[in-house]
Amino acid sequence: MYKYDAIDRQLINERVAQFRDQVHRWKAGELADDEFRPLRLQNGLYIQRHAPMFRIAVPYGMLNSAQLRAMASVARKYDRGYGHFTTRHNLQLNWPKIEDVPEILAELAEVEVHAIQTSGNCLRNITTDQFAGVAADEIIDPRPLAEIMRQWTTFHPEFAFLPRKFKIAISGTKEDRAVTWFHDIGLHLKVVDGQVGFTVIVGGGLGRTPIRGEVIRDFLPWQDILSYCEAVLRVYNRYGRRDNAYKARIKILVQALGIDAFRAQVEAEWAHGKGGPMTITQAEYDRVAAHFTAPTYETVGDVELPDEKPFLNWLVRNTHAHKVPGYAAVTLSLKKHGIAPGDITSEQMDVVADLADRYSFGELRISHEQNIILADVKQTDLHAVWQQARAAGLATPNIGLLTGMICCPGGDFCDLANAKSIPIANAIQARFDDLDYLFDIGEIDLNISGCMNACGHHHVGHIGVLGVDKNDAEFYQVTLGGRQGNDAKLGKVIGPSFAADEMPDAVEKIIQVYLESRHEDERFIDTFDRIGIDPFKNRVYEGRAHGKAKAAQKEAA
Amino acid sequence: MSQLIKNGAAAADSWKTLEIGEGETPETLALPAGDVIFPLAVWQARKSELAGRERLGLLLQPDDKVEDVAADVARFALIAVNFPKFVDGRGYSTAALLRQRYGYTGELRAVGNVLHDQLFFMKRVGFDSYALTDGKNLAYAIERGFSPFGDAYQGATDQPQPYFRRRA
């Protein structure tokens, strides 16, 4: 894992001092609220429904045990003893005091953690695959280039006040696990004729106007990624819309110009930067890559694992193939039924840090599905990890299953939300609390967002749930058939939205149609692709009044 | 009104900015004498009349295309880039292009909503004078605004070599 050197330490310490000074000037009335707002946002600080929300960066999802312990400590000391992992790898605290944030930043800086550019209209945290470096299907480890890009984005002077936020994701595997088709820039590492480079995708995004990105360059040598991104960013900074925040993302510019015209502008701009000083040197790549070498794996002999059903269930769902024989990657589920998905207490963070130290070389990763991964566990240790994780409530065997859902904080916490999302998640978890039933249903992505900003990635859930506001009441729109991965696409709206208390029934009916219609070994999404949306629609709205009938029913009531 | 910072100190401002009043057009308005900063439209409409002046100033708005004056930059003693709102970051690209691509070497001034916490970024992209918004603490901006960070990762106008090329 990357370790800071003198320049990295200097810059984050200077950042803490800068923010301390900004908070001081804001409190003294020298900085108006409007002037302070983008400054605090670029340090991850929102003003939310109940209190400020503070978002701590987890660059490309990598953490070490000391960093997680520091997060546990600040959550305990300055907040209510828990945090929430987001779909972009970051940790959110929901109740800190603004005045405490400089102190929190100072404590985090000691373990090389910061909140730089975790919010605001700037270059955001770069995300990647939670199995980077260990995935069996990996082509190139994306982390060295992710770190080089992290440094490049940090305090970039030209792109600190973009029209809107800008998110980059990198995938280094055959199967895309970084949602790269739905980022402002999505990068796929690949090798062509012995040369390493990227397929560059631009203009994707979820949110209010979900758009699948388009390929702007089929192959870009890795050395050129910074100068090429600067060209994309410069075109966007100059010509992206600034008159309407809802139309300010790069996807709108790309759609307005068309990908070919946008590509031509970027290429014309890049002609000036190509081969210039921002070209990454082999020496720099080697320097950074040296931090991401494989740990000293042991030779693990024949593994005999106990034949206990709960453990075997966990093995099936929560462990993953590793490129080194005798090892596995483990997902610690933050999706225990009845808990807000992605939430974790300080005590649990400490347990996870201990597990990482004991069983996984002191390192861990955060996934965009809001879980924690121990990437390098010996198979002979799996039973011990399972027992300790289970004791801490971190071993729910539901990864990839219906209740392992992605869910944003929603209307309980977030100012932007139209509706609550956590109670919907919990109600569905309660309905599907039977493990055998969950296993029988099998692999399915259920994603819930409390508003069209889509932090819960509802568009790419096999079942997507979107909270909407209708005449000051909370309703939920359901989409089917969305997916992430190489064939990423947006779900289709099934029909009129549902009240909160109708949601568990609606999901159950969708599942019933699947169970009745599936062929052997067909996952939900396969059945959906084969039979289409209509059977689901018919079942869900069967006997449900709508249109004139509904109006008449209301009248009668 | 604003408070001018130049060469790391408060400075007097000899320049006046010409505004196009209501009912006036770039083609017809009177061209005052002295150190005047002209809007791009006036420069474009009256190039031949202005050509003889010794010191010319130009004002670029966020949506003015810097390419339109690419061939003329050597004519200006001062180019002012306007930030109508400090969160409108187009002026950073304008400045970077003037310095890095079009070889502008005269005074490059940030005007408009120019605040303490953006001075560092402005300096990096190539500004060398700053019309700090009135009412803001000038002395503190000069003391601290330009140096929150002692170095930077990326190449920019003030240091074209990124940090990784300057490592020992």
From A162, which residue of chain B is nearest by alpha-carbon distance?
B89
pLDDT digits (tens, 9 = 90+) for A363-390: 999 999 999 999 999 999 999 999 999 9
CB contact under 8 A, A161 and B92: yes
Instruction: Name the average pLDDT for chain A.
Output: 94
What is the rounded average pLDDT of the residues A273-299?
A: 97
Q: Which residues are bridge partners to B2 per DSSP?
A: B133
How close B157 gets to chain A, by Cα (Å)? 10
Task: Using a CB–CB cutoff of 8 Å, tell me whether B162 touches chain A.
Answer: yes
At residue A473, the 3 state secondary structure works out as: strand
Q: What band does A302 get if pLDDT is binned at 50, 70 and 90?
A: confident
**Looking at the domain that runs over A309-391, which CATH code has it been given?**
3.30.70.3340
What is the rounded average pLDDT of the residues B109-127?
A: 98
- Whole-number Å distance between alpha carbons of A221 and B121: 29
> Residue A550 has what pLDDT?
65
A249: its two tokens: 């993302």
A417-556 shares the fold of A143-288: yes
Q: Within chain B, what is the greatest distance between any pair of CA atoms?
A: 61
> Residue B107 has what pLDDT?
98
B92 chain-A contacts, CB cut-off 8 A: 157-161, 237
Task: Using a CB–CB cutoff of 8 Å, tell me whether B85 touches chain A.
Answer: no
Least CB-CB distance to A277: which of B87, B137, B155?
B155
pLDDT digits (tens, 9 = 90+) for A409-451: 998 888 888 999 999 999 999 999 999 999 999 999 999 999 9
How many CB atoms are closer than 10 A to CB A19? 23
Do A182 and A212 meet the contact criterion of CB atoms below 8 Å apart? Answer: yes
Res A12 pLDDT > 80: yes
Q: What band does B1 get if pLDDT is binned at 50, 70 and 90?
A: low
> Residue B166 has what pLDDT?
97
Instruction: Name the average pLDDT for chain B.
Output: 96
Task: Using a CB–CB cutoff of 8 Å, tell me whether B159 touches chain A.
Answer: no
> Residue A472 has what pLDDT?
87
Q: What is the DSSP letter of A30?
A: S
Phi, psi of A168 (to 5 degrees): -120, 135
Name the residue among B44, B37, B34, B51 with its Cα closest to residue B67: B44
Question: What are the sequence ranges of the domains in chain A?
Answer: 6-109, 143-288, 309-391, 417-556
pLDDT digits (tens, 9 = 90+) for B119-150: 999 999 999 999 999 999 999 999 999 999 99
From B96, which residue of chain A is nearest by alpha-carbon distance?
A158
Res A6 pLDDT > 70: yes
Residues 6+ away with beta carbon under 8 Å from A390: A310, A314
Res A551 pLDDT > 70: no
A277 chain-B contacts, CB cut-off 8 A: 155, 160-162, 165
> Residue A372 has what pLDDT?
98
* CB crowding A473-510: b at 16 or more within 10 Å, else e: ebbbbbbbbbbbbeebbbbbebbebbebeebbebbebb
> Residue A471 has what pLDDT?
86
What is the rounded average pLDDT of the residues A463-489?
A: 94
> Residue A547 has what pLDDT?
57
pLDDT digits (tens, 9 = 90+) for B79-105: 999 999 999 999 999 999 999 999 999
Q: What CATH superfamily is the domain A143-288? A: Sulfite Reductase Hemoprotein, domain 1 (3.30.413.10)
What size, in residues, is chain B? Answer: 168
Helix residue ranges, H only, A361-434? 382-391, 422-431
Name the residue among A283, A211, A111 with its Cα closest to residue B167: A283
Task: Using a CB–CB cutoff of 8 Å, tell me whether B136 touches chain A.
Answer: yes
Do A325 and A300 meet the contact criterion of CB atoms below 8 Å apart? Answer: yes
Name the residue among B112, B116, B105 with its Cα closest to residue B17: B112
Do A306 and A16 meet the contact criterion of CB atoms below 8 Å apart? Answer: no
From A17, which residue of chain B is nearest by alpha-carbon distance?
B148
At residue A214, the 3 state secondary structure works out as: strand
* CA dihedral over A456, A182, A151, A247, signed as positive or negative: negative
Percent of chain A with pLDDT over 90: 89
Mutation target vs A (from B63, B99, B117, B167; most A CBs, 10 A cutoff): B117
Res A549 pLDDT > 60: no
A280 chain-B contacts, CB cut-off 8 A: 164
Res A208 pLDDT > 90: no
From A285, which residue of chain B is nearest by alpha-carbon distance?
B164
From A16, which residue of chain B is nearest by alpha-carbon distance?
B148
Radius of gyration of chain A (CA): 23
pLDDT digits (tens, 9 = 90+) for A533-547: 999 999 999 987 665
Task: Using a CB–CB cutoff of 8 Å, tell me whether B70 touches chain A.
Answer: no
What is the rounded average pLDDT of the residues A496-516?
A: 96
Question: What are the sequence ranges of the domains in chain B?
Answer: 2-166
Residues 139-158 of B with CB under 8 A from A: 144, 148-156
A154 chain-B contacts, CB cut-off 8 A: 153
B158: its two tokens: 């003030």
How close B13 gets to chain A, by Cα (Å)? 24
How many CB atoms are closer than 10 A to CB A300? 14
Residue B75, Cβ density class (10 Å: 0-12 exposed, 13-18 middle, ≥19 buried): middle
A428: its two tokens: 């569905």
> Residue A39 has what pLDDT?
97
Do A346 and A81 meet the contact criterion of CB atoms below 8 Å apart? Answer: yes
pLDDT digits (tens, 9 = 90+) for A85-143: 998 889 999 889 999 999 999 999 999 999 999 999 999 999 999 999 998 889 999 99
Percent of chain A with pLDDT over 70: 97
CB contact under 8 A, A7 and B120: no
* ipTM score: 0.97
- Whole-number Å distance between alpha carbons of A462 and A478: 10
- Whole-number Å distance between alpha carbons of A449 and A463: 11
CB contact under 8 A, A277 and B125: no
What is the rounded average pLDDT of the residues A338-355?
A: 96
- Name the CATH architecture for the domain at A6-109: Alpha-Beta Complex (3.90)
Cα-based distances in Å from A322 to A176, A329, A365, B142: 17, 6, 15, 55
Do A376 and A418 meet the contact criterion of CB atoms below 8 Å apart? Answer: no
Radius of gyration of chain B (CA): 17
**Which residues of A sit within 8 Å Cβ distance of B?**
7, 10-11, 14-15, 17-18, 21-22, 25, 30-31, 35, 38-39, 121, 148, 151-152, 154-162, 226, 234, 237-238, 242, 272, 276-278, 280-281, 283-284, 287
Do A279 and A223 meet the contact criterion of CB atoms below 8 Å apart? Answer: yes
Least CB-CB distance to B156: which of A22, A35, A157?
A157
CB contact under 8 A, B87 and A121: yes
Least CB-CB distance to A152: which of B116, B117, B153?
B153
> Residue B15 has what pLDDT?
97
- Whole-number Å distance between alpha carbons of A507 and A502: 9
A283 chain-B contacts, CB cut-off 8 A: 164, 167
Q: What is the DSSP letter of A330?
A: E
Name the residue among A107, A125, A108 with its Cα closest to residue A116: A125
CB contact under 8 A, B90 and A237: yes
* CA dihedral over B90, B91, B93, B98, signed as positive or negative: positive
**Looking at the domain that runs over A417-556, which CATH code has it been given?**
3.30.413.10
Size of interface A-B (CB pairs under 8 A): 107
CATH class of B2-166: alpha beta
CB contact under 8 A, B154 and A162: no
Do A370 and A403 meet the contact criterion of CB atoms below 8 Å apart? Answer: no
What value, to the nearest 5°, has the Cα angle with vertex A86 and ends A165 and A395? 165
Res A49 pLDDT > 90: no
A58: its two tokens: 């987890």
CB contact under 8 A, A30 and B125: no
B161: its two tokens: 């070599």
